[in-house]
Structure 1
Amino acid sequence: MFIVRWVLGRIILFFNFIFAPKKRQRPLAEQAKVDEVTKSIQLYQYPACPFCVKVRRTIRRQGLNIETVDAKQELHQQTLVSQGGKAMVPCLRIEENGETQWMYESSDIINYLNQRFA
């Protein structure tokens, strides 16, 4: 089963690389504002997870500079569980006004990003 998942993961990454969406172009001042807001957002993800790829494609399509965190690393996985409550990816960590919000479903994350930055 591990081999099948590994092969499928590499196929997903290959096609994502080949068919990567085009980045959104914004005026420099507007992009600087967006970059400032996205400094407080992180995406906990696995590189070959299809749902994570879906979210990363939206991030690229919107031209967002959101830090991605590999949740397979023990330290990041512990942070995800202890602070977010679940060991599930993709997970968007949003820090606003001194509060931290953890968003888990890929469709919810995509809707949030599209509403916030579109």
Structure 2
Amino acid sequence: MADITMYELPGCPYCAKVRSKLDDLELEYDVIEVPRSHGDRTEVERVSGQTGVPVIIDEAHDVDGMHESDDIVAYLEETYA
């Protein structure tokens, strides 16, 4: 199991942006696909307080439920680049 977990929805362009950065940085990460319906996204809501994706958890740096793709990409650059 990787330190980074990403919650995503297939086909989501914001999720693809984060996934691309993770791949560019050659980071290992686990993916959890969320349901299409926001009402069914109980797990991502539990970890981030909201139902939008992408969301990441980075156990190595005590990051729980970071959302907003631009914020995630900036964090990954700052932490791992």
TM-score, normalised on structure 1? Answer: 0.58
- Residue type at the aligned position of 1:109: I
- The separation in 2 between residues aligned to 1:70 and 1:84, in whole angstroms, is 15
How far is the alpha carbon of 1:77 from its aligned partner?
A: 2.3
- The separation in 1 between residues aligned to 2:74 and 2:36, in whole angstroms, is 27
- Residue type at the aligned position of 1:106: S
Is 2:13 the counterpart of 1:50? Answer: yes
Count of paired positions: 79
Decide which structure has greater helix share: 1
Q: Which residue of 2 aligns with 1:94?
A: 58
- Residue type at the aligned position of 2:7: Y
Q: SS at 2:16's partner residue?
A: helix
Q: 1:103 aligns with which of 56, 62, 66?
A: 66
TM-score, normalised on structure 2? Answer: 0.82
How far is the alpha carbon of 1:116 from its aligned partner?
A: 1.0
- The separation in 2 between residues aligned to 1:77 and 1:40, in whole angstroms, is 22
- The separation in 2 between residues aligned to 1:48 and 1:111, in whole angstroms, is 22
**Structure number, greater radius of gyration:** 1
How far is the alpha carbon of 1:95 from its aligned partner?
A: 2.3
- The separation in 2 between residues aligned to 1:101 and 1:71, in whole angstroms, is 17
- The separation in 2 between residues aligned to 1:102 and 1:67, in whole angstroms, is 14
Q: Which runs of 4+ in 1 moved over 3 A?
A: none
Unmatched segments (≥5 aa) in structure 2: none
How far is the alpha carbon of 1:68 from its aligned partner?
A: 1.1
Q: Which has the higher contact order (CA 8 A, sep 6+)?
A: 2
